[in-house]
Amino acid sequence: MDAMKKIVFLTIIVCIGVSAVISVILVDSLATSSIPDVQRGSVLEKQRVSENVSRIDLANGQKLFVVKNDALFSRIAVNESYVFDCRIDFNNKITIIDNATLIQ
């Protein structure tokens, strides 16, 4: 009977340990993930937020961000419509623009 209790106890400890490891890996992978997204809209305003971050305000009220890409930021014109290839950054809770295609 004592051997059975030890086996059950060790099995429970191992299951709890494995569950903890899986939880840590899952939380870490979700925190560092970015999901691709596509946004469309007309640029209402653009402005620099900091040295490496710029914000693009769309006519529909969305705010998109350009991070460390001055060439892309300068290529986007106000009062023009674009299709934006973006990714959602869950750490900073922002949508980051990777590419912008002008709609003709």
Task: Kindly tell me if the per-residue pLDDT of 104 is higher than 80.
Answer: no
Q: Is the dihedral of CA 54, 63, 72, 80 positive or negative?
A: negative
Could you tell me the CA-to-CA distances from 64 to 1, 31, 52, 79 in Å, in that order? 64, 20, 14, 15
Residues above pLDDT 70, as percent of the chain: 93
Residue 4: pLDDT band with limits 50, 70, 90: confident
pLDDT at 1: 66
Residue 70: count other Cβ atoms within 10 Å of its Cβ: 12
pLDDT at 90: 76
pLDDT at 16: 92
